[in-house]
Amino acid sequence: MKKEKIIIANWKMNLSYKESLRYIKDIKSFLVGLKNIKIILCPAFVSLADIQKEIKLKKIELGAQDVFWMEEGAYTGEVSVQSLKELGCKYVIVGHSERRGFLNETDAMINKKIQIVLSHNIIPILCIGENLEQRNDNLTAKILRDQLLEDLKIIDFKNNQQIIIAYEPIWAIGTGHEATTDQVNEAVIIIKSQLAKLYPNKDIEKSFKILYGGSVDENNVESFLDLDVIDGFLVGGASANKVHFIKLLNKIKN
């Protein structure tokens, strides 16, 4: 039997609250009918509660796009992991390059976020990846290793817990320029060997799932399907449009 694919739909700030609800009402029966595909929807914080009502008891999972690293307190504008848990989130994206870039999120902050997420038994989706300059300077391997080292510093987790790592080269995000399968393959091998070094006592295949993200859409997704090293995709732009998302999922299921 074919391995189940994980598809994370990161809607970013693309759909308003009303648009998000319309979207899920329109396509939830299609999503529920998909076999061998685990769908994780990551809407904006404000839409989580009502999206959860729509997908409850269905096979669709909920994730948040971010979280704060403290339990509670005077942190205006931030959202706690406890709230996310109460809303039904089983996943949280951490360290997305848009947050690292636009909001100056550091590896140290990301590390604290992963710690709090795991302590609440939620699965972190850690995004890592190099920018174009780094790739051109042959620094991809170093950047990936360093990010894993810093982001996962002193992080231990139970054998029944999991971390998802999304390889997201920054030059491929939202640009329409996807990485080649060779580039993804190479990067994932580097990621897995660094994880094996960091967690010598863990079964890496079981404890980590590895995804690719960066301009994945209905036109290029098939080229990645034979890539055994990845477990699925983190889809941004193409997931925020239901017509494109359905087309993309149809390519995966076939």
Q: Which residues are catalytic?
A: 96, 168
User: Looking at beta carbons only, is 214 or 232 nearer to ligand PGA?
Assistant: 214
* Residues facing 124 on adjacent strands: 92
Q: Min. distance of Cβ 74 from ligand PGA in angstroms? A: 31
Decide: 235 and 213 in contact? Cβ < 8 Å.
yes
Q: What long-range pairs does 58-63 form, CB within 8 A, spacing at least 24?
A: 58/28, 58/31, 58/32, 59/31, 59/32, 60/28, 60/31, 60/32, 61/90, 61/91, 62/87, 62/88, 62/89, 62/90, 62/91, 63/8, 63/89, 63/90, 63/91, 63/92, 63/93, 63/125
Q: Min. distance of Cβ 71 from ligand PGA in angstroms? A: 27
Contacts of 251 (CB under 8 A, 6+ apart): 218, 221, 222, 225
Q: Which residues bind ligand PGA (CB under 6 A)?
A: 10, 168, 173-174, 213-216, 234-238
Q: At residue 34, what is the residue type? A: L
Neighbours of 141 (CB within 10 A): 17
Q: Min. distance of Cβ 65 from ligand PGA in angstroms? A: 10
Q: Min. distance of Cβ 243 from ligand PGA in angstroms? A: 15
User: Looking at beta carbons only, is 98 or 107 nearer to ligand PGA?
Assistant: 98
User: Looking at beta carbons only, is 9 or 80 nearer to ligand PGA?
Assistant: 9
How many angstroms separate the CA atoms of 233 and 202, rounded?
23
User: Looking at beta carbons only, is 80 or 130 nearer to ligand PGA?
Assistant: 130
